[in-house]
Amino acid sequence: MDINIMIEEANLARLWQVWPIAGPWRLSPLAGGTNNLVWRAETVGGECYVLRLFPDRARLPRLRYEAALLEALSNANLPFRLPLPIRTRSGESIAVLEQEMLACAILSPFLPGECPDRNDLALVSPTAEALAVLDNALAALPDIVVPGGFEPLFSYGDLVSGYMPVPDSLAAVERLPIARDKARQMQNILASILEAMPNLYTRLPQQLLHLDYCPPNLFVEDRQVTAIFDFEFAGIDLRVMELCVALSWWPVHLMGTGKEWEVIDAFAEAYVDGFPLSIEELRAIPEVLRLRDAGSLIHRMGRYFAGLETDARIQERVEHSLWREAWLNSHREMLLQHAMAWSGPAPAGR
C-alpha cells in the first residue's frame, strides 16, 4: 500500500497525544528498517524524537521483549546511548494502536551522531570496541521476563533448521526464481551447513547477543560510537556469531580485492581484545560465517514467499550467497591463520 495512504489511515498527526510530550509534532519520514516505518517527530519547542510504527500486531511480544532488554541495558552504564522507549501516558513502553493499518508504535529520543563510513578505516576499531562493551553487558544481564512469556529464541541456527515461513529450506530453494544449476548449488551448500550445525551448537558457548551489528545500526561522532540501534534480532546464539555477523557487513565492499584483511583484522582484534573468544571459537569462524549467511538467505526467502521481496531481489541475494561461499572456499586457510592471531590466551572460564 502507498505509504501516504497508510499515514493518512493512521492519523499520525494525533499520535502525540499517546505520550506525555507536548504536541502537535512536525513529522518527517526517516530511512527505516524492513519491518517498520520510521519518522522524525519534532515538537514546537525543538525537541526531537524517533517514532517507529509497526503494522503487525503479532510482533507485539517481540517488541515488548526488545523494550525490556533496552531498559535492562540502560542500567549498565554504557559509554553509548540506546533507543530506550519513552513510556506512554498509561506507562507502557509500546503504544498499542486502534488504527487498522498500524498496530503498534514506539517513541524514543533522537540520538546524536551519524552512520559510520565503512571506507574510514579509523572507525573500524572503535566500532568493534563498542560491540565488545555491549556483549559484555548483555552477558551480565539477568533473565528478562516480559508478559506472555516471550523468550529470545532467535538464532541463526533456528533460521536454518526450521524457520517458520521456511520449514524446509532445501525444498524451498526449488521454488525460487533461479536457474536449476544455481538451485542445486544452493541446496548442496545448505545441506552441508545443516549437517555441521548441530556440532557447532553442542560444543560452542552461547549467550544473548545483538546479532545485527551493521553500519546502519549505529551512530558515531568524533570517531566514537554514540548510539547503537535495532535490537530486533537480539537473541541467544553462539558467542562467536556476533563477530561473524559484524564481519559479514564491515569489509563486504572489499571482499575479493585483498584489501579486506585490513578491515577484518582491525575489527576482529579490537573486538576480541574486549570480548575474548576461545581458540575453539576462533577456529569455528569459517563454519559460523557460512551459517550466518545461510540464516540471512533463509530470512530473505521467507520475506520473498510472503510477497515482501521481488524476484530480482531474491535472485541477487542467492548470487550473494554463492559469491560468499566461493570467497570462503578460496580463503578458508588464510582466514584461520588470521583468526589465530587475533587473540592471546583466553581468560579462565572463557
- pLDDT for 325: 98
User: For the chain, what are the domain ranges?
Assistant: 3-109, 121-340
Indicate if the pLDDT at residue 129 is higher than 90.
Answer: yes
Lowest mean pLDDT among 9-13, 97-101, 117-121, 191-195: 9-13
The highest-level CATH class for domain 121-340 is alpha beta
Q: Is 258 buried (19+), middle (13-18) or exposed (0-12) by CB count in 10 A?
A: exposed
Per-chain mean pLDDT for the chain = 90
Q: What is the pLDDT of residue 29?
A: 87
The DSSP secondary-structure symbol of 93 reads S
Q: Provide the whole-model pTM.
A: 0.91
Q: Which residue has the cell 575479493?
A: 256
pLDDT of residue 11: 61
CATH architecture of residue range(s) 3-109: 2-Layer Sandwich (3.30)
CA gap 283, 288 in Å, rounded: 10
Alpha-carbon distance values, 94 to 60, 62, 90 (Å): 8, 11, 10
pLDDT per residue as tens digits for the range 131-187 = 999 999 999 999 887 766 666 556 899 889 888 789 999 999 999 999 999 999 999
The span from the CA of 83 to the CA of 93, in Å, is 12
The mean per-residue pLDDT over the stretch 84-101 comes to: 86
> What cell was used for 277?
573468544
Please identify which residue in the block is written with the cell numbers 509534532: 25
